[in-house]
Amino acid sequence: MALGSVYPAEWSESRDPDSGVVVRQLTAYKGHSHHFYFTNPGWYDRGRRLLFGSDRANRTNLFSLDLTSGEITQVSDLEPVPPPYETELLDACVNPVRPEVYFWYARHIVAIDLKDLGLRYLWAVPPGYLTSGLNCTADGQHLCGIIVEDLTNRFRIDLLRGYVGFEETWAAKPHCQIIVVPSAGGKERVAWQERTWLGHINASPTRPNLVTFCHEGPWDKVDNRIWGLDLSGGQPWMIRPRRQGEAVGHEYWHADGEHIGYHGHAADGHSFLGRIRFDNQEAMEFEFASDTGHIHSNDLSLIVGDGGRSIRLWRWNGKGYDGPRLLCRHNSSKHIQQAHPHPRFSPDGKQVLFTSDVSGYCNLYLVDLPAFESLPEIGAGE
C-alpha cells in the first residue's frame, strides 16, 4: 500500500432488523478503520469526501473516502511508532478553510496537504511530555494541542485500551500545557498551563480565539469538567460549574460556535442532557431516563447518542426532548477507543456517522436520517 494509491469501494448496505433503517457500511478491510473523534469532523471537499484512520498492511494510516463512488485514497504513508507515541488518528482534525489535515505523529504535529499529499512537520513535543488532543481554529490559522507530563515511569498508562492508568493520572496532577502552533508553520506559544490533567481541546467552529478544554479524570471527582479559554489572553473560566455529586462530560460545540452540548448525571442519579453558551448564559438541561453514551448535535433540534448497544436519537419539541428513538443497533464492543461508536451528524444534519466492530473489525457506518416518528421507541433503562 502506497501514498496516493486508490482502492475500490468496500461499502455495502443492510437493513437494521429492529428499526428497518438502511445502514451503509463504508469500509470492510480486515483491520480496524474508524472515523475521527466525534468533536473533530472528517468531512472535506464540500462534504464530498471523508477522512478516516485505518490499520492496513500492519500500520496505521490516513485514508480519504469518496462519498459518491466509495473509492478510497491513501493519504499518508507512516512508519509504525511504538507506544507511548504510537500513531492513532482519533484526534486528527481538518483545516476548515483549506484542504489540509493535522495529527500527532512520532511526537510531532504534522500537516498533510489533501491535494498533493505533501507532509510537513510543524512542531515537536519537548522531552518529558505525551500528546493529548488536537484541534484547528475556526480561521484555520492555528492548531491547538495539549501536552501532558509523561508519567509512564511511575505507573502503566494505556488509555486507548481500557483506560489503564486513568485514575492514577488524574490523582498525580501532571503538568499540562495548551500549545498554539501556526498552521502555516512558525513559533509555538503556551496559551495555558497548570498542574492538573487537561484534555479534550475543542475549538469553536466560528470564533477563532475561543476553545474549550476539560479537567480530565473521573467526572464526579474533578473540580470542574468544562473550561473556556480565550486564546488572545486571559484566564480560563468554568463552563457549566459542577455541583456536588454531579458528573458532567462529553462536551462538544454546536455548529454555531456559541453553544456547548454535554450530558451528565445528577447527585440523585437521574441523567440529563444539557446545552449552555460559552459565557454560561442560556443554560438548558433536561432530565431523561435512558443511557446516552457519547452524544452529538449540530444544534438543539436533534441529538444522537451511542448508549448501550444502539445509535439513538432525541428530538427537540420546543420544551424538552422526545425519545430516545432507535436509529439502528451498533453492537460495538467498545473495548478499545477506536471501537467506540462516537456517533456524529454530518455537517448538513442529514446523516449519522459511527464506528462499530460488530463485524470483528472496526468499520465506518453511515445512515441517512428517516422521519423521527418512523423509528421505534427505546424503553427506560435500555
* Interstrand relation of 108-113 and 119-124 (parallel, antiparallel or unpaired): antiparallel
Query: Has residue 238 got a pLDDT over 70?
Result: yes
Give the span between the Cα atoms of 130 and 278, in whole angstroms. Answer: 28
Whole-model pTM above 0.75?
yes
Residue 207: which pLDDT band, with cuts at 50, 70 and 90? very high
Written as nine digits, the cell of 135 is 484541534
How confident is residue 157, by pLDDT bands cut at 50, 70 and 90?
A: confident
- Give 241-284 pLDDT, tens digit per residue: 999 999 999 999 999 999 999 999 998 888 999 999 999 999 99
pLDDT, position 369: 98
Quick one: average pLDDT of 10-22? 97
DSSP secondary structure code for residue 317 in this structure: -
- pLDDT per residue over 317-367, tens digit each? 999 999 999 999 999 999 999 999 999 999 999 999 999 999 999 999 999
Cell matching residue 226: 468544562
Phi and psi at residue 331, in whole multiples of 5°? 50, 35
Q: Is the pLDDT of residue 381 over 60?
A: no
For residue 276, the model assigns a pLDDT of 98
Q: Is the peptide bond before 324 cis (omega within 30 degrees of 0)?
A: yes
Q: How confident is the model at residue 382 (pLDDT cuts 50, 70, 90)?
A: low
Please state which CATH class domain 39-297 belongs to: mainly beta
Environment class of 133 (CB within 10 Å of its CB; exposed 0-12, middle 13-18, buried 19+): buried
Instruction: DSSP for 170-229, please give it.
Output: HHH---EEEEEEETTS---EEEEEESS-EEEEEE-SS-TTEEEEEE-S-TTTSS-SEEEE
96 dihedral zone (left: phi>0; alpha: psi -120 to 50; beta): alpha
Q: Quickly tell me which residue has 473540580 as its cell.
A: 223
Q: Which residue is listed with cell 498554539?
A: 180
State whether residue 361 is helix, strand or coil: coil
The separation between the first and the last C-alpha atoms of the chain, rounded to the nearest angstrom, is 42
Say how many C-beta atoms besides its own lie within 10 A of residue 113's C-beta.
Answer: 15
